[in-house]
Amino acid sequence: MHRHLIALFASCALAAPLFAGPHDITNADAPGLLETMQDKQVVLLDAGKGDARELRYAAVEDNSVTVKLVQNMTMKQSMGGQPMGANTLPASFYRNEYRVSKTNDEGFTVVVTVEDAGVTEGEQGPMADMMAQSLKTMVGTVTTITMDDLGRVLSADTKLPAGADAQAQGQADQMASLTSTVPLPEKPVAPGAVWRQRLDRSANGLAMHMFNTYTLNKIDGDTLYLTIDALQYIPVQDLPGDQLPPGASGKVTKADSVVSGTATLDLATSALIVVDSKMTMTMTVNMNMQGQSMSVDQDIDMTMTAEPVDG
């Protein structure tokens, strides 16, 4: 059961946006936001000050950039009120190529290819070996995203490499999160502008709602410098049976996930080419197994960085 829960908690953490750390919102605000915002809706909160301009993706066919993402994660768990200690996972990485495959009047298509994935150099031990083997199944995964010039996704599809197993599908779902695009406001904005988007998602069968808030710090040609704050809201819900040991049941009774981060967005490829973010997540699950009930508490701290590398 312990290993099942670690995998479930980790998947929720990895499904979060690259950032979180609500911009003037908390979990208490989420139910109200669910009433006032629709899935994928973008709301301009502040147009900024100074010379305003329209922000639009300016994709050029065959433009490409390769970005390396590095993740570090530490998990602390207690069961029935008894601390189980901290578990620091080996640092992992993805190297993704973002390439504009075509453009037309409706928008453009970006193909994101996982060129390499694994644990970072120097990580050793059984856990590192297991993670490296799992992550290697992602190499060759291709995510194709078609969007308009505002970054609104028109279609998205992920294809796994030949021979990938069922576990790779969960990794692919996480990969789709990591290749999320940044939506742009319709109206002209200036530095200091703030806009927010709601996104509804699921990770291993758990429903969740993202509220991503974008602050425009600087514009330099087709490069935007952003602070991206978000809240990941996971409502009270039953755990999916296929994520638990046979005969077990459980319910998420409390969850809170926030991350603070900055990013550099390349409008020519839609890629977040530089990222520096930190996430904290707490979750409480009530488990029932063999007639016994137990509360499981999990705290997760994760950092993620990204930077362009030679292809």
Task: Give me the pLDDT at residue 6, please.
Answer: 47
d(CA 140, CA 159): 9
- Looking at residue 49, its pLDDT comes to 95
Q: Which helix (H) or strand (E) holds 4?
A: helix 2-15
Instruction: Count CA within 13 A, CB hemisphere, residue 119.
Output: 18
User: Which residues face 183 on adjacent strands?
Assistant: none
CATH number of the domain encompassing residue 54: 2.30.230
pLDDT of residue 2: 46
Q: Give the residue numbers spanning the domain of 119.
A: 2-309
Alpha helices in 100-234, H assignment, sequence order: 126-136, 166-178
Whole-number Cα distances in Å, 239 to 202, 203, 274, 298: 12, 11, 35, 15
Partner residues linked to 117 by β-bridges: 94
Residue whose C-alpha is closest to residue 250's, from 239, 260, 259: 239
pLDDT score recorded for residue 80: 83
Q: Which of 287, 206, 295 is nearest to 247 (CA)?
A: 287
Planar angle of CA 241, 246, 250, nearest 5 degrees: 45
3-state secondary structure of 49: coil
- Tokens 């950039």: give the residue: 65
| Confidence (pLDDT) at 173 | 59
Alpha carbons 65 and 147: distance in angstroms, whole number:
18
Sign (positive or negative) of CA dihedral 307, 42, 301, 251: negative
| CA dist 158 → 42, 112, 147, 280 (Å) | 24, 9, 15, 28
Query: What Rg value do the Cα atoms of the chain yield, rounded?
Result: 20
Q: Phi, psi at residue 197, to the nearest 5°?
A: -130, 140
* DSSP for 97-119, written as a single string: EEEEEEEETTEEEEEEEEEEEEE
Query: How many domains does the structure of the chain reveal?
Result: 1
Q: Each residue's pLDDT tens digit in the chain (311 positions)?
A: 444 444 454 445 444 444 433 456 788 888 999 999 999 899 999 999 999 999 999 999 999 999 999 999 999 999 888 888 888 999 999 999 999 999 988 899 999 999 999 999 888 899 899 889 888 888 999 999 999 999 998 988 888 887 666 566 666 655 555 556 799 999 999 999 999 999 998 877 888 999 999 999 999 999 999 998 888 899 999 988 777 888 888 999 988 888 789 999 999 999 888 999 988 899 999 988 888 888 999 999 999 999 999 86
